[in-house]
Every structure is written in C-alpha cells, then in structure tokens.
C-alpha cells in the first residue's frame, strides 16, 4: 500500500522528470523547405532608424507575396546595440537566419565560422562590379553580398546656410578652409546652430585622410600601418575648434541620441556616408540636403572609395539555407526592392537593381555625387582586421573624451594605441 | 525544512525503536530532497555550473567563438593596468558609498513617518513602495533620461529658482547625481522592511522614555536605533550588494556605452562591454570573479563590525 509520504515522493519525482523530459523533447528538427500551405519562417534582423524599418517591412511584404512558401520575421535595433545582441546570440548558437551586416564585423564572425559561405548556395552576383565583391570575401569564401555602395561626403543644409548668409561650398576645400567654414557657421549661428560635429571622431574619415597622405591604415599582416604621430596630427586638426561654436559640444550631442546632431537641426554640416541622406531627411524634416566631397590638402587625391554600405549575410547554423539564399538574392537584386529603398541603403550595388530604380530629388543627388567623384575613387578596402568594431568605437569614445576635455591629444593617442595593440595581440 | 525535525521527533515518540527512527528520518530526507529537486537542478545547472565555468574562463583568453586558451593570471594582472577598469571601479564605489546610505536614510525617515495610526496609511505605504517595483525597469530609465535632459522638467524646475545647470544627462559631472537620485527614489523595498521592524518595538519603551523626559532625538538614538539595528544591518547589507550590481539603468541612460566621458561606466557595464562588445569573455569573467571576491570581503567586514553596533533581543549586552 502507498502511504502518504511515498505518494508525495512519487508525485514530486514525476513532476520533475516530466518537466525535464518536455524540455528535451523540443529539439525535433522541422522541415527544411516550406510550401504555400505550410511555409517556413526565417528570421531577419537589421540596424537602422524608423525610416529604414518602414522600408524593410515593405520589402519583406513584397518578398512574402512573391514567395508564399517563406515567411520572414523581422527585427531591428540601433547600430551599437545591434552588435552586442549578435555576440550574445552567436555565443549561444542562435544567430538569426539572415542579417544585415557591416564590413567592420565581417572578419570577427566570418573567420570564426559563424557565417554561411554564400558560395555554397544560390545567390546571383552576375550584376555586381567585380571589384566590389572581394570586400565580402575572406580567404576565398563569400560571407557577405553587398546590398549597395556608399562614399564619404560632407552634407550641408542649404536653407540653414542661406538663413545665415553663408555661401554654399563647392567641396574643393582643404582642411584649413573647411575649418574656417565651420567656424563661420558657428559664429553666425550664435549658440543655436553649430558648424558640425568633431569630424576627427570618425574612424573612416581618418582612414580617408591617411589615404590622402598615401598611408595604409592596416598592413597586410593585420598590424597598424600608421604611427602615433599620424594620429596626433589628425586629432590636432580640430584642436582649435573644440569648445567653440564650430563644433557641437558632446554634452548636447549625447542627449540627442539616438538621433545625430545634424538630424536634430543642431548643426549645419556633417561628414559621413552619403547613404545617410534618407535618414537625415526623415529625422530633420529639412526640405533639401546637399553633398560635396570631403576636404583634402592634395586636390588630386581625395582618398575616397566606394565601400559596401552594408552586406547581407546568413548564419552558418541556419536550417533554411535555401530560403535564406532566396531572401538575400531578392534583397540585393530585385528592382522593386531598389524602388523601396532608393538610396537609403546606399546606391544599389547590383546593376539589375540599380537600373530598375528611378532616382529623383535627393536620391538623384546621392547617385550624382557618387558619379561626380568617380575619377577620384580607389579600390574598396578589404574586410578590416578582427576586432575592428572595437577599434572603431574606441576611436569615437576617445574623441568624445577629447571634447569633454578629459584627455589631451597626446593622452588620447596613447589610450587608442594601447587598446589597438592589446587587441591585435589578443587576436594574433 | 524546519518542519521535519518536529515530524521526526513525533515519529520517534510513537515508534521508539532505533532502526525504525533512522529509517523514517531517511525517508523524510528523501521526500525533502525530492521536492527540492526542481530547484536544486536549476541551481546547479543555471548558477553553480556557469559560475565554475566562468572561474575557469577567467584564466583563459576566450573570444566566444574559438576554444579558450589558458593564460594563467594574465587577465587579473592586466585588469590593474587598465585605466577604464580603474575608472569603472571608481564610478561604482562612488555610487555605493553615496547612494546606499542616502537611500537607507530616506527609507528609514519615511518608514518612521508612516509608522503611526492615521487614516489612509495603507495608501501612502503602497504609494511609496511603488517606485521600487518599477524603478529598475527600462521604461523608468528612459523617463529619467528625458526628465534630466536639456530643457527637461528638472532643468526647467531648477532654472525657475535661478539654478542653471543645463541637462544632466550630457554633463559628466552631473550624471552620478542623477543615478544616485534614481536609486534613492526606489527606497520602497527597504522602507517596508524598516516599517515591519519599527512595529516590533514595544510602545511601552517610548512611554517610559517620555515619562523620564526624553525628547524625540534621544528616543531615536537610545530606543529606535538599537532596537532596529538588526533590520538596519540587514538592509545595509542587501542594499550594498545590490548597489554593486547596478546595470540596467546605467545601460539605458548611457546608450550602453557608459558615457558621457565614462561617468556612468559602472563595473557591471564595463564587464558587459568587455565580454559582449569586445569579445573578451575571459577578461570579463576575471572581472566578475573579482567582484564576487570584493563583495564577499565587504560582507565579511560588515558581519565582523556588526557585533559592536547590532543588538539582538535576548543578548546579554
């Protein structure tokens, strides 16, 4: 006969083992391909603002209507949080099936076998410039397909300059002239409008300046190709501007996050990638924004290049390789996707998509800008070194500390170099 | 668990023979552990296991993707050469040293106000407790950020009185004040515990003191404080440990970067950044273990010093 205690023991054991068994039972593998009645669901994640989210949703809806056997679950975040989430997911083996990717992180994940070799699935790259594809490849394997290209540029808001009575720049300027321009805006803006953000805080801008001076940022062995003196020169470029109206203070800029000062109508200019146009227009509500080349002390060498503004990648562990490949192919090649995104991801990299897209207004400005700098363009950079994302964000952080007056230029250079050398040693 | 000795004693009295007694005790234990099993499994799989593996990882170079490489004490050594690490220690210590006492003082003060029989006490108690329920949430951190921004309610309120500080969020000298205010505002949880403690103090002690002509300060120092000291000690310990672990609000307010100028780079936030932004999980594990050790030492010091100021009823002292 079962007494009370035995009964309770049995119940407790039973409950525990049932919970344990049901936890184990969920790993049965679902079907690899779907059908219209029983579609497979793939997950897709990207970074960006509301504007991009809206466009991406439209693209996903279009994809689903053309491919009734696949459903796409979309999810997005801002750029900084994006990479922390991916790291957590990668550690747990649960990266989304398809992801928007940045060149800075391609080596970190590609070299560590987290990304699917897209050479093993069907993604059509016939319509791509052959010089662009290597930037998505590491050691002969294709981990990312560029959606589009972008180039560095100086944005300005013509209406704001007109209101201050300042002539529009034509982009044929050296650093001294550019600084003078920022200073003039700051003086006339009188505390409500600033010249721009500290342009020495952006790694890629520094990279362009290095190219202008014929210095390679990273050697082929994955070491730093520039010296402490080079970086000192760079951060000293805006030394006299910090704390004046030429550059918006960090205390202001921090509070505007996640929007940029330029998108918040606090500055008249911004030096960054040309595909930010759509985002800036949506954020600021400005009627029109224009683009001119970055300053250079050598008028024949602007140091500019076309970079894949973003890539499409798939997780190495995806169960739906075929569905993932079809979605990537669709996002990079389909002309209607081009019509949805216009230049908000950059100028479409695939000729099929580019030719199928009509560029008007500001989108035409971006396309025209990339045409206008064609003769200055050099090769796209290779995927940067492992851990580059950290170096890029440290670069920005250290410049912020410079602007807060917490670091001197010499101190900032030491901090950044220590971080870089640690990291290169770490990943050697 | 406290039930089982009584049960066995009763069992023993009904069946006095020795073997039977121990068999029953064994059966009790079996039943007890069986009921504990779900919790024990969770504790071992989700807490002890990860802790042991993190101890191992703290002696390795581990980037989340490749196999960990054993490097001995290198992580611990390089911690002390890392200026950002030292900064994060400084930031966290500031927060613990100023935030915790202020929070406890606020909790005790409000608890004493609420410890009287007036109409609507229940409502006030709930109202004061509410912030500690929602205070750690993401939405409150976002609200806080908006309140302390340029031209936010705090800035405007202070400007009304002629104090022009501007936004606190972007000013490295003000962010710590903002974070401390956020934790002080969540005084509800220790307050409830204080309130329960205050109710345990016999009213006749105060009556006798009044008869002898003791004022409110005297009563507080000589009755409330000593009688409440075990509760104060408990709250101090819990809140200190809790303060070391601040993460979510700092993460939200600084956009996950510990800015401006590293002024909200709390220990756990830096640990997270090292682990998940920089993929240096070994380094982050070393930081985690250092935190465990330091919090352990501080707890030990608290217990040692508590003998001189914490009075338990029934003590000879």
Residues on chain A touching B169 (C-beta within 8 angstroms): 254-255
Q: Is A260 helix (H, G, I), strand (E, B) or coil?
A: coil
Beta-carbon count within 10 A of A216 CB: 13
pLDDT (tens digit per residue) in A342-391: 888 889 999 999 998 998 888 888 889 988 898 888 877 777 888 888 88
Q: Which residue of B has its CA nearest to A81?
A: B256
Question: What local confidence, expressed as pLDDT, does residue B147 receive?
Answer: 86
Lowest average pLDDT, out of A16-25, A174-183, A335-344, goes to A16-25
Selected residue with higher pLDDT from B294 and B152? B294
Distance CA A394, CA A397 (A): 5
Cis peptide before A116 (omega within 30 of 0): no
Question: What local confidence, expressed as pLDDT, does residue B9 receive?
Answer: 45
Q: Is B53 helix (H, G, I), strand (E, B) or coil?
A: helix
**Block residue for tokens 């975040």:** A77
Domains of chain A, CATH where assigned: 35-148+308-367 (3.40.190.10), 152-305+381-427 (3.40.190.10)
Are residues B261 and A404, on separate chains, in Cβ contact within 8 Å?
A: yes
Question: Which residues 196-255 of chain A have a CB within 8 Å of chain B?
Answer: 249-255
Whole-number percent of chain A with pLDDT over 90: 51
pLDDT (tens digit per residue) in A209-234: 999 999 988 887 778 999 999 999 99
Tell which of B3, B32, B62, B63 to mutate to test the A interface (max A CBs under 10 Å): B63
**Block residue for tokens 């380094």:** B283
Chain B: give the shortest CA distance to residue A147, in Å.
Answer: 25
pLDDT (tens digit per residue) in A119-141: 999 899 999 888 788 888 888 89
pLDDT band at residue A6 using 50, 70 and 90 as cut-offs: low
- Please say if the pLDDT value at position A207 is more than 80: yes
pLDDT band at residue A329 using 50, 70 and 90 as cut-offs: very high
Residues 6 or more apart in contact with residue A111 via CB below 8 angstroms = A138, A139, A386
ipTM summary value: 0.73
Chain centroid to CA A161: how far? 29
Question: What local confidence, expressed as pLDDT, does residue B312 receive?
Answer: 81
Q: Which residue of B has its CA nearest to A387?
A: B278
Question: What local confidence, expressed as pLDDT, does residue B28 receive?
Answer: 85
**Whole-number average pLDDT of chain A:** 87
Question: What local confidence, expressed as pLDDT, does residue B15 receive?
Answer: 46
Residue from the list B34, B41, B149 with its beta carbon closest to the beta carbon of A255: B149
Are residues B276 and A8, on separate chains, in Cβ contact within 8 Å?
A: no
Q: Provide the sign of the torsion angle of the four alpha carbons B55, B57, B60, B61, taken in this order.
A: negative
- Give DSSP secondary structure letters for B172-212: TTTHHHHHHHHHHHTTHHHHHHHHHHHHHS-HHHHHHHHHT
Q: Which residue of B has its CA nearest to A405?
A: B261
Chain A: give the shortest CA distance to residue B262, in Å.
Answer: 8
Print burial letters for A179-208: b (CB count within 10 Å at least 16), e (below 16). bebbbbbbebbeeebbbbbbbbbbbbbbbb
**Whole-number average pLDDT of chain B:** 86
Instruction: List C-alpha distances in Å: B191 to B45, B106, B109, B125, B198.
Output: 34, 8, 9, 9, 10
Selected residue with higher pLDDT from A2 and B131? B131
Chain centroid to CA A277: how far? 14
A88–B contact, CB cutoff 8 A: yes
Tell which of A15, A198, A251 to mutate to test the B interface (max B CBs under 10 Å): A251
Distance CA A278, CA A367 (A): 13
Lowest average pLDDT, out of A8-22, A30-44, B290-304, goes to A8-22
Question: What local confidence, expressed as pLDDT, does residue B254 receive?
Answer: 82
Distance CA A205, CA A293 (A): 12
Are residues B260 and A427, on separate chains, in Cβ contact within 8 Å?
A: no
Residue A154 burial (10 A CB sphere; 0-12, 13-18, 19+): buried
- Please say if the pLDDT value at position B118 is more than 80: no
Question: Which residues 317-356 of chain A have a CB within 8 Å of chain B?
Answer: none
Phi, psi dihedral angles at A42 (to 5 degrees): -110, 155
pLDDT band at residue B76 using 50, 70 and 90 as cut-offs: very high
> Which whole number is the average pLDDT over B167-195?
89
- Please say if the pLDDT value at position B72 is more than 70: yes
Distance CA A83, CA B276 (A): 8
Lowest average pLDDT, out of A46-50, A284-288, B6-10, B248-252, goes to B6-10
Distance CA A141, CA B50 (A): 35
pLDDT band at residue B159 using 50, 70 and 90 as cut-offs: confident
Lowest average pLDDT, out of A11-25, A121-135, B264-278, goes to A11-25
Question: What local confidence, expressed as pLDDT, does residue B315 receive?
Answer: 57
pLDDT band at residue A410 using 50, 70 and 90 as cut-offs: very high
Tell which of B277, B281, B284 to mutate to test the A interface (max A CBs under 10 Å): B277
pLDDT (tens digit per residue) in B90-111: 999 999 999 999 999 999 999 9
Question: What local confidence, expressed as pLDDT, does residue A3 receive?
Answer: 57
> Which whole number is the average pLDDT over B140-161?
83
- Please say if the pLDDT value at position A9 is more than 80: no
List the structure tokens of A334. 């389909």
pLDDT band at residue A5 using 50, 70 and 90 as cut-offs: low
Question: What local confidence, expressed as pLDDT, does residue A4 receive?
Answer: 53
């Amino acid at each position: 006969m079962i007494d009370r205690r035995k009964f309770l023991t049995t119940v407790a054991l039973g409950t525990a083992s049932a919970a344990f068994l049901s936890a184990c039972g969920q790993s049965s593998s679902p079907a690899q391909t779907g059908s219209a009645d029983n579609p497979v669901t793939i997950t897709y994640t990207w970074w960006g603002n509301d504007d991009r989210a809206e466009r991406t949703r439209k693209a996903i809806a279009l994809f689903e209507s053309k491919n009734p056997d696949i459903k796409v679950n979309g999810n997005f975040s801002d750029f900084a949080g994006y990479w922390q989430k991916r790291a957590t997911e990668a550690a747990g083996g649960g990266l989304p099936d398809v992801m928007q990717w940045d060149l800075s992180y391609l080596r970190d994940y590609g070299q560590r076998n987290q990304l699917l070799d897209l050479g093993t699935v069907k993604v059509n790259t016939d319509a791509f410039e052959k010089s662009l594809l290597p930037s998505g490849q590491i050691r002969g394997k294709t981990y990312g397909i560029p959606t589009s290209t972008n180039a560095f540029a100086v944005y300005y808001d013509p209406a704001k300059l007109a209101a201050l009575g300042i002539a529009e720049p034509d982009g044929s300027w050296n650093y001294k002239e550019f600084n003078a321009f920022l200073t003039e805006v700051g003086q006339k803006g009188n505390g409500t409008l600033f010249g721009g953000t500290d342009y020495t805080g952006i790694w890629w801008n520094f990279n362009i300046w290095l190219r202008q001076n014929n210095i390679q940022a990273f050697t082929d062995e994955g070491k730093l190709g520039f010296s402490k003196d080079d970086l000192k020169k760079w951060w000293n470029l805006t030394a006299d501007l910090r704390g004046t109206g030429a550059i918006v203070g960090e205390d202001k800029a921090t509070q505007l996050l996640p929007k940029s000062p330029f998108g918040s109508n606090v500055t008249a200019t911004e030096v960054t990638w040309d595909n930010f146009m759509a985002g800036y227009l949506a954020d600021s509500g400005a009627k029109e924004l224009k683009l001119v080349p970055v300053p250079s002390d050598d008028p024949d060498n602007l140091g500019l290049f076309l970079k894949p503004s973003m890539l499409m990648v798939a997780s190495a562990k995806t169960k739906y390789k075929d569905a993932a490949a079809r979605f990537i192919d669709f996002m990079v090649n389909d002309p209607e996707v081009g019509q949805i995104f216009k230049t908000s991801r950059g100028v479409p990299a695939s000729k099929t998509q580019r030719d199928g897209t009509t560029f008007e207004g500001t989108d035409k400005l971006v396309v025209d800008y990339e045409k206008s700098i064609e003769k200055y363009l050099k090769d796209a950079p290779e995927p940067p070194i492992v851990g580059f994302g950290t170096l890029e964000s440290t670069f920005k952080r250290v410049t912020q500390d410079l602007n807060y007056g917490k670091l001197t230029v010499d101190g900032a250079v030491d901090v950044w170099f220590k971080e870089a050398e640690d990291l290169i040693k770490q990943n050697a | 668990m406290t039930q089982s000795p009584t049960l066995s004693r009763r069992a023993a009295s009904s069946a006095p023979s020795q073997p039977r007694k121990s068999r029953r005790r064994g059966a009790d234990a079996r039943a007890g552990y069986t009921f504990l099993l779900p919790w024990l499994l969770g504790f071992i799989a989700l807490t002890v296991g990860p802790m042991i593996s993190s101890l191992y990882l703290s002696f390795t170079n581990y980037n989340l993707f490749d196999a960990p490489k054993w490097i001995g004490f290198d992580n611990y050594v390089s911690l002390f050469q890392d200026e950002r690490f030292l900064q994060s220690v400084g930031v966290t210590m500031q927060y613990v040293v100023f935030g915790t006492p202020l929070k406890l003082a606020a909790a005790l003060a409000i608890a004493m106000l609420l410890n009287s029989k007036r109409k609507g006490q229940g409502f006030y108690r709930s109202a004061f407790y509410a912030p500690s329920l929602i205070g750690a949430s993401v939405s409150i951190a976002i609200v806080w950020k908006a309140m302390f921004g340029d031209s936010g309610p705090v800035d405007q309120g202070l400007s009304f009185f002629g104090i022009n500080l501007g936004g606190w969020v972007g000013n490295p000298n003000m962010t710590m004040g903002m974070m401390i205010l956020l934790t002080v505002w969540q005084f509800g949880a220790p307050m409830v515990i204080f309130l329960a403690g205050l109710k345990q103090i016999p009213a006749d002690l105060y009556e006798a003191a009044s008869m002898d002509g003791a004022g409110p300060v005297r009563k507080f120092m000589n009755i409330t404080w000593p009688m409440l000291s075990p509760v104060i000690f408990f709250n101090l310990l819990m809140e200190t440990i809790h303060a070391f672990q601040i993460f979510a609000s700092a993460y939200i307010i600084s956009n996950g970067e510990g800015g401006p100028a590293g002024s909200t780079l709390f220990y756990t936030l830096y640990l997270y950044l090292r682990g998940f932004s920089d993929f240096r999980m070994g380094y982050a594990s070393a930081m985690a273990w250092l935190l465990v050790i330091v919090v352990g030492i501080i707890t030990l010091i608290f217990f040692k010093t508590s003998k001189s100021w914490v009075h338990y009823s029934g003590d000879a002292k």
